[in-house]
């Protein structure tokens, strides 16, 4: 039986990563209902606000079951909700987990995804003692691939036609980051 995995509260020079709260539902719905933001996602955009509440409940359940941590990401300067970053599928026996993230388009191009994921990876390797973190991204999502590569992830392969969303078939790249190859980023991570 796994123990709970309390969601950490992490801080960087520009960001705060924290557990989701009920009050985040509106921002979360706005993020996940955007067809533009989710154009490379593996599920269609949300059409009902209730999905946001279920998402927040699932975040809490993930932490209680000890399978991961999904954290809201806020800009430290003004508290604006930017998106989220997560470690899921945590396996303490294999010392592995999967990284995921989603940000609103206004947050793109500022280095926030790289900065938040770097903080979460530091927690994963230092606190959870992970050996490997895996991530996947749609092959058309060059910006997401760039985030992973800036963090030191190595592209390990392609999952051919692994997603069909709204009739669109797409491939995904699989990335891996091994603890011994990870170099913690200095803060803040500049945008490119």
- Residue pLDDT, tens place only, 70-81: 999 999 999 999
2 domain residue, yes or no: no
> Which CATH number do you get for residue 94?
3.40.630.30
Structural domain including 80 reads: 10-181
189 domain residue, yes or no: no
Decide if pLDDT at 192 tops 50: no
The H-assigned helical ranges of the chain are: 25-32, 50-65, 112-126, 142-150
Q: What is the pLDDT of residues 101-159, one digit of tens each?
A: 999 999 999 999 999 999 999 999 998 899 999 999 999 999 999 999 999 999 999 99
Instruction: Name the domain count of the chain.
Output: 1
191 domain residue, yes or no: no
- pLDDT the model gives residue 5: 65
Give Cβ neighbours of residue 55 (< 8 Å, ≥ 6 apart): 20, 28, 32
Inter-axis angle of helices 112-126 and 142-150, nearest 10: 40
Share of the chain above pLDDT 90, in %: 77
pTM: predicted TM-score of the whole model, two decimal places: 0.90
Q: How many CB atoms lie within 10 A of CB 53?
A: 15
88 domain residue, yes or no: yes
């Amino acid at each position: 039986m796994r123990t709970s995995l309390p969601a950490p509260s992490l801080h960087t020079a520009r960001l705060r990563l924290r557990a989701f709260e009920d009050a985040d539902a509106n921002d979360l719905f706005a993020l996940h209902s955007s067809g533009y933001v989710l154009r490379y996602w593996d599920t269609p955009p949300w059409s009902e606000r209730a999905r946001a509440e279920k998402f927040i409940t699932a975040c809490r359940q993930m932490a209680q079951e000890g399978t991961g941590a999904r954290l809201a990401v806020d800009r430290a300067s003004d508290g604006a909700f930017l998106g989220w970053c997560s470690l899921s599928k945590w396996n303490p026996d294999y010392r592995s987990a999967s990284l995921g993230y989603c940000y609103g388009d206004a947050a793109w191009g500022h280095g926030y995804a790289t900065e938040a994921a770097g903080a979460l990876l530091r927690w994963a390797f230092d606190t959870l003692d992970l050996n490997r973190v895996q991530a996947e991204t749609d092959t058309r999502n060059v910006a997401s691939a760039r985030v992973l590569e800036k963090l030191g992830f190595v592209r390990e392969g392609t999952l051919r036609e692994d997603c069909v969303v709204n009739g669109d078939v797409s491939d995904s790249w699989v990335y891996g980051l091994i603890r011994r190859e990870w170099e913690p980023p200095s803060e803040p991570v500049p945008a490119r």
